[in-house]
Each structure stands twice: as C-alpha cells, then as structure tokens.
Amino acid sequence: MKRIAVLVSGGGTNLQALIDAQGDVLHSGKIALVISNVEGAYALQRAKNADIPTETVIKKVCGSQIAFEDRLLSLLEQYEIDVIVLAGFMTILTEHFTGRYPGRILNVHPSLIPSFCGEGFYGLRVHEAALSYGVKVTGATVHFVNEVCDGGQIIAQKAVPVLEGDTPETLQRRVMEQAEWILLPQAVETVCNGLGGNEYECI
Ligand code: GAR
C-alpha cells in the first residue's frame, strides 16, 4: 500500500473524489496526509471528516520559495509519503521540490494539455480561456509533475464537450464531473500500482 499525500488550496472536490475512491478504484494506495497552502481551505475539513491528518504550510510564513518547499519536503518525509497528488494546488513548485520525487508527483489540470495550460492558467481562468477561444471540446489531464509548469508526461486525458450558453462555472462543473473526478483516482491507482513493481502504463 503506497502512502499518498494530497496537496490542496481550495474546495477540495478532487480530494473528495480520491477519498471516495479509497478501497474501490484506489486500492493500491491510501491517503496518509493532506497539506494545504491556504489557511482554512475547505479541503482541510474534507480530510478531517475522513480522519486524514492535515498540515498547513503558508509560503509567506516560510519566508521564501525554498523554505516553503523545504517545509513540504520535511513533512512528506515525516509521514513517509511515496506518491504526491496536486489536487487544486494553486502554487508552482520548482525543481528543488519536483526533482526529489521523479515520476511520483501527479497533477490534475482542467483542460486538454497542451491547450490552456502553463503559468497563469489555473481554476476558472482555464475555462474562461477555453470559452473565449471558442473551442468546442475541452477536458481534463492528469500528468506527472516536473520542473516545467504543466509540462510533465501525460498519464490520462478525457474530453468533455463545450455547450451553447456555457459559463466558466458550468463548464468547470462539467469538466470536474465528467473528467477530473473519474480520471484522477484511476491515474493515482495506476501510479501506486506501478510503483509496486508492475510495468507502468499510461491510461
Ligand atoms: C480543479 O478544477 C483543478 O483541476 C484545478 O483547480 C480546481 C480545483 O478544484 N487545478 C488547476 O487549475 C491547476 N493548474 P478542487 O479544489 O475542488 O479540487
């Protein structure tokens, strides 16, 4: 059983999808820690409701990007974490952090990478950009995290239609329901399972 840490910043619906998948779709790993970089994020409450230990690490309090990443790294070591999932974690991590866990950090992004990704594309902004471009299909991507923002190897993708009259909010909801909440637990299972010695395969 791999020990998973989920890093969050907000509402935590993707964290909830992972919690709900435990023992079912997600059976090769268990969520052993949830870390928020935002004080009082609702995701922390979701973790507490599921009896999962939580920690909060605030960049400003740490004083620098490196000190922030060092604090995260020391918590991951303390909780003996094998796999890290960025689930709505709205801050960029540098190679100082990502280089320590090659092939063991996943991120869920609410578009079909390489569209509408990279610095500045996060949360509702991604859906605003998709709508203003006028794409007819968008979706979600789960990928490995490396030093390039949204640039690591793609693990899984799912397309979702854009509908007439969509707002960023309606599109975000559809992408979550039809893609993110399904793909993320599957991809985390695939990686946890692969780390167990099986051949790793993209979905
Ligand atoms: C999700 O749509 C996730 O894909 C996105 O933020 C939302 C978080 O929602 N992440 C990014 O944009 C990262 N670049 P949640 O807190 O309810 O899981």
> Which atom of ligand 1 is closest in space to residue 10's alpha carbon?
16
Q: Ligand 1, residues 8, 126, 157: which to mutate, most atoms within 8 A of Cβ?
A: 126
pLDDT value at residue 198: 45
Q: Ligand 1, residues 109, 145, 158: which to mutate, most atoms within 8 A of Cβ?
A: 109
Digit-coded pLDDT (tens) for 155-197: 999 999 999 999 999 999 999 999 999 999 999 999 999 965 4
Digit-coded pLDDT (tens) for 106-164: 999 999 999 999 999 999 999 999 999 999 999 999 999 999 999 999 999 999 999 99
Q: Which DSSP string corresponds to the chain?
A: -EEEEEEESS--HHHHHHHHHBTTTB-SEEEEEEEESSTT-HHHHHHHHTT--EEE--HHHH-SHHHHHHHHHHHHHHTT-SEEEESS--S---HHHHTTSTT-EEEEESS-TTSS-STT--THHHHHHHHHHT-SEEEEEEEE--SSTT-SPEEEEEEEE--TT--HHHHHHHHIIIIIHHHHHHHHHHHHHHHTTSPP---
> Which atom of ligand 1 is closest in space to residue 180's alpha carbon?
4
Mean pLDDT of the chain: 95
Output the residue whose Cα is nearest ligand 1's atom 10: 88
Active-site residues, by number, are: 109
Quote the ligand 1 centre to 11 CA distance (angstroms).
9
Q: Please report, rounded to a whole number, the percentage of residues in the chain having pLDDT higher than 90.
A: 95
